[in-house]
Amino acid sequence: MKNHNTLTPEEYAVWDIVRDRPRPENAIRQKVVAQMLSVDVREVRLITLSLLEKKYPVGSTTHRPYGMYRIEGPEDRDTNVASLKSRAVETLYRAKLIEALFRDGQMRLL
């Protein structure tokens, strides 16, 4: 079983940056974190997910300043959860529209 308290060196490096960024107003872009650590942005996303699985409070924001931050309490948590749910609904709606493109055999070509 995985020890959720033990961080890999990569996880620790990301957490070390994020923990110094409390609250959404201090967010740092994933691209900047990736550049600081000389890794790909996708790697930062995977590491962020792993940190959340290990119960490290990493949030993200899609408004200025964009990026990731340390969740400080229930207000930060609730705001982040609402944003994620909204994005999920929008993504599923977009997927539904794309699925329907060829359903009736027609697609608008510009």
In tens, the pLDDT along 59-97 reads: 999 888 899 999 999 999 999 999 999 999 999 999 999
Burial class from Cβ neighbours inside 10 Å (0-12, 13-18, 19+) for residue 43 reads middle
Helix (H) or strand (E) holding 92: helix 74-99
In a domain, 76, yes or no: yes
In a domain, 93, yes or no: yes
In a domain, 15, yes or no: yes
In tens, the pLDDT along 13-66 reads: 999 999 999 999 999 999 999 999 999 999 999 999 999 999 999 999 988 889
In a domain, 109, yes or no: no
Q: Residue 55 sits in a domain of what CATH number?
A: 1.10.10.10
Phi, psi (deg, nearest 5) at residue 107: -140, 135
In a domain, 96, yes or no: yes
What range defines the domain where residue 17 resides? 9-101
The whole-model pTM stands at: 0.82
**CA distances in angstroms from 70 to 19, 24, 79, 98, listed in the order given:** 5, 8, 13, 35
Structural domain count, the chain: 1
> CA torsion sign, 50 to 7 to 12 to 54?
positive
In a domain, 23, yes or no: yes
